[in-house]
Structure 1
Amino acid sequence: MSIKRIEVGPRMSQAVVHGSVVYLAGQVALGDGVAAQTRAVLDQIDALLAAAGTDKTRILTTTIYLSDISTFSEMNAEWDKWVAAGHTPARATVEAALATPDYKVEIVVSAAI
């Protein structure tokens, strides 16, 4: 089975397709607060899924990392506007120290092709 890498960098690829699944690297974005960062990250996810030949209705699993779990409802407000009704993935949300204090949210998804 072939492996396709999307947006390959020196340390990681932004997405890897193997078989009928695409695995996205953790997506982060800068912005003023968790809501703005969540919107930007979800836009990045849409673009990467499209590059892999799929979309958000095919997401299988999602892990969301928040630098401060008290922003859970802010993040969820953006998520709820974005996620496709009837196509919600298995999901976990956890509080974690992210790569830099500037990042408030990081989202990882895997989707079927």
Structure 2
Amino acid sequence: MSDIKRIDVGARMSQAVVHGNTVYTAGQVALRAPGASVAEQTKDILARIDELLAEAGTSKEKLLIATIWLSDMAGFNEMNEVWDAWVVPGATPGRACVESKLAAPQFTVEIQVIAAL
């Protein structure tokens, strides 16, 4: 059986889990920019995802899938501008984006990714 590596383990969840050749992140919200614009929250989240992937031993070039939750689809284009500048051309993951009520009103974006090592 493969070893399981957990990153930033908390009482409720780990921020990332590595199993086999795959990294799974928890849904990330803008902890460094709560209440900021959709674009600023997206930038903050993607920077955190970069950090988690690096700690796991991989990077955004190896993304497999992303799930994005927006508190209001009116922010879809604003989020996509930041996303499109961040993702690696030719290595874009599968992706879903839906509108959903998030954990707290100051959060407008949440992103979870799965990547290969």
Same structural fold, with TM-score higher than 0.5 when normalized by the shorter chain: yes
Q: Please indicate the TM-score interval, normalised by the length of the shorter structure.
A: over 0.9
Matching residue of 2:10: 9
Residue 81 (1) aligns with residue 82 (2):
no
Cα separation, 2, equivalents of 1:87 and 1:62:
12
- Size of the aligned set, in residue pairs, is 113
Matching residue of 2:70: 66
Q: Letter of the 1:37 partner, please give it.
A: Q
Q: How does 1:1-113 map to 2 (within 5 A)?
A: 1-29=2-30, 30-113=34-117
Task: State the secondary structure of the residue aligned to 2:91.
Answer: coil
- What per-residue deviation string (whole Å, max 9, x for no partner) do you get for residues 64-106 of structure 1? 0000001100000000010001000000000000000100000
Q: Letter of the 1:88 partner, please give it.
A: T
Cα separation, 2, equivalents of 1:81 and 1:66:
18
Cα separation, 1, equivalents of 2:35 and 2:24:
24
TM-score scaled by length of structure 2: 0.95
1:33, distance to aligned residue in structure 2 (A): 1.1
TM-score scaled by length of structure 1: 0.99
Q: Percent identity?
A: 59
Moved over 2 A (4+): none
- What per-residue deviation string (whole Å, max 9, x for no partner) do you get for residues 13-60 of structure 1? 000000000000000011411000000000000000000000000000
Q: Which runs of 5+ in 1 are unaligned?
A: none
